[in-house]
Homo-oligomer: A and B are copies of this chain.
């Protein structure tokens, strides 16, 4: 029999085992109906329960103020890059963006197709190994919003302190890769969004959380599905949603509740990342962390071995031992261990054991 496999893929990423098991069990027979939930009308009572539960779980877990909107929108974060700018970036006016690498750049590129963008800080000079100092940023109080990416999967960097300008500038944050991995004060944000496929479910949908004054702020004549207000007015059922993604989100959020909530999950995530970084730091340069230590991500641990050959050897030997998805992003190479909520501590422990053994045999 094969060992259990631990999947360190950056996304689409591993979902909790219990969730995958339950989804498989009821795949063809939802709640004894002999019919799959995927084959039911999105206006059926059973699906209505699922979508309401997904929303209620999200609201509970993130302690979202009642007047905020919680939207389920087809397409991932890349689609939100465009949609948020189409809604929130005025034809006259501009938005501030922080550039922390690949995904924030893509958000900037899409917004530039819509309106005027001002990049107020960038990690480019240091190869995105660090997060720009929040205190050094000069923001424009006239900016429509300030956009940033809370966690950067490619480089393994993460904001541990958020920009905060009170109510002067609405904060818009792409939390795709660390949503619900740590407690966040939602009230400080005008908009939070995340593609599901890292911490919340399969690909194909985004979760969008929006302050009420932002929802109707559509500066352009837009088709219904490109306006946030449509999702608000129709409780996410203007048209057929991605039912599978909604369902999986309901199961994943239920699982987080069962773990004890985001605060408890955060503590486990701290332990997982701490022990992994400790293994890197004690290796005396055999494992080289990519990110500036104070900005290290708790979700994506990126490091390099002394040579390309060793990187490759590490990846393939780890795979043989049931640890897969460890190759770094194609733009930076090296090793990337993605340890989202669904990665159990024992997966990280096994990786650390392997790292220790591998170093012994190869240094």
A20 within 8 A of B: yes
Give the residue of B12, B35, B202, B242 whose beta carbon is less than 8 angstroms from that of A203.
B242
Could you list which residues of chain A lie within 8 angstroms of chain B, going by C-beta atoms?
A: 2, 4-5, 7, 9-15, 20-21, 23-24, 27-28, 33-36, 38-43, 74-76, 78-79, 81-82, 85-86, 109-110, 113-114, 195, 197, 202-205, 221-226, 238-245, 322, 324-325, 330
The 6 sampled A-B contact pairs (Cβ below 8 Å) are A24-B24, A27-B27, A82-B224, A203-B243, A204-B204, A204-B244
Asked whether A225 lies within 8 Å of B21 as measured between CB atoms, the reply is no
Q: Contacts A43-B330, A224-B110 given: A205-B203 contact, CB under 8 Å?
A: no
CB distance from A25 to the nearest CB of B (A): 9
Give the residue of B12, B204, B240 whose beta carbon is less than 8 angstroms from that of A197.
B240
Q: Which residues of B contact A114 (CB under 8 A)?
A: 223
Q: Which residues of B contact A245 (CB under 8 A)?
A: 204, 242, 244
Q: Contacts A224-B82, A244-B204 given: A39-B12 contact, CB under 8 Å?
A: yes
Complex: A15 Cα to B37 Cα, angstroms: 11
Asked whether B242 lies within 8 Å of A204 as measured between CB atoms, the reply is yes
Q: Which residues of B contact A41 (CB under 8 A)?
A: 9-12, 325
